[in-house]
Amino acid sequence: MNQTEKEKLITEVVSLLQTRLNAMTTAPTAAVEPKSEPLEMLTVQECSQAVKGLSVHTVRQLIAQGKIPSIRTGQGKGGKILVSRAALLRYFESGGV
d(CA 18, CA 72): 26
Residue numbers of the domain that contains 14: 3-27+39-93
Number of domains in the chain: 1
Residue 69 lies in a domain: yes
What's the pLDDT tens digit per position in 31-78?
555 666 678 999 999 999 998 889 999 999 999 999 999 999 988 778
Q: Please state the pTM of the whole predicted model.
A: 0.57
Residue 32 lies in a domain: no
Residue 34 lies in a domain: no
Compute the half-sphere exposure of residue 55: CA atoms within 13 Å on the CB side of its CA: 8
pLDDT at 28 over 60: no
Residue 66 lies in a domain: yes
Residue 86 lies in a domain: yes
Amino acid, single-letter form, for residue 3: Q
Residue 20 lies in a domain: yes
Residue 33 lies in a domain: no
